[in-house]
């Protein structure tokens, strides 16, 4: 009886982990879309951290109504869009670390990066935007450490100076005390 219950629980937990443990979202770290966005972010951000770009929740949308996009004095008709959440890091002066999550839009057939203005009227893209967050987060650890050092170093230097400083008046006072004891 105990073995049957244990076997049933094992089977149930395996089914649970198989169903909910597998991420159905795709993460891309290579390919044409990845290369195009890596090039764009390196160009736009001089402090882009190499190797930090990942495209999460990649989804391809086939459009019911093709859209027309004008890029480089050419007009393209786009019928398929790949959307994703691009996450990457920027590091400025080894102090200001930012984590970026932005929406990425790509036309795979044309090899074009699309702007939010190009796809803002597409309902599938709006649904995707409501499903996932876009944000920029500043990591405060290095900044707080620097601010603590700005406070701690002068205070500790002042404490050390107070304890160990050479004072000519102390020497004179000790001589006067010794002279008073003799009298």
Q: What is the DSSP letter of 118?
A: H
Token pair 């244990």 is at which residue? 6
Q: Which range is least confidently modeled, 14-23, 81-90, 132-141, 155-164?
A: 14-23
Q: Per-residue pLDDT averaged across 19-40, rounded?
A: 70
85-135 tens-digit pLDDT: 999 999 999 889 999 999 999 999 999 999 999 999 999 999 999 999 999
Any idea where the domains of the chain sit in the sequence? 23-139, 145-182
Residue 165 pLDDT:
74
Residues of the chain above pLDDT 90, percent = 58
Q: What is the DSSP letter of 19?
A: H
Nearest-angstrom CA–CA distance, 175 and 182: 11
Q: Which helix (H) or strand (E) holds 69?
A: strand 54-71
Residue 3 pLDDT:
66
Q: Which helix (H) or strand (E) holds 129?
A: helix 123-131
At 34, the pLDDT band (50, 70, 90 cuts) reads very high
Residue 29 pLDDT:
65
Nearest-angstrom CA–CA distance, 106 and 24: 20
Summary count for the chain: helices (H), strands (E): 6, 5
């Amino acid at each position: 009886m105990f073995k049957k219950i244990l076997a049933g629980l094992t089977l149930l937990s395996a089914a649970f982990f198989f169903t909910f443990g597998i991420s159905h979202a795709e993460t891309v770290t290579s390919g044409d879309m990845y290369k195009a966005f890596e090039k764009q972010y390196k160009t736009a951000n001089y402090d882009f951290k190499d190797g930090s770009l990942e495209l999460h929740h990649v989804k391809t949308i086939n459009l019911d109504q093709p859209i027309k996009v004008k890029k480089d004095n050419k007009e393209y008709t786009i019928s398929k869009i790949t959307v994703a959440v691009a996450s990457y890091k920027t590091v400025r002066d080894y102090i200001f670390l930012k984590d970026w999550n932005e929406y990425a839009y790509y036309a795979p057939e044309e090899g074009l990066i699309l702007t939010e203005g190009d796809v803002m009227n597409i309902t599938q893209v709006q649904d995707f935007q409501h499903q996932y967050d876009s944000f920029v987060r500043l990591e405060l650890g290095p900044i707080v450490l620097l601010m603590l050092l700005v406070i701690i170093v002068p205070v500790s230097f002042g404490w050390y100076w107070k304890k160990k400083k050479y004072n000519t008046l102390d020497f004179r006072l000790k001589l006067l005390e010794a002279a008073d004891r003799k009298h």
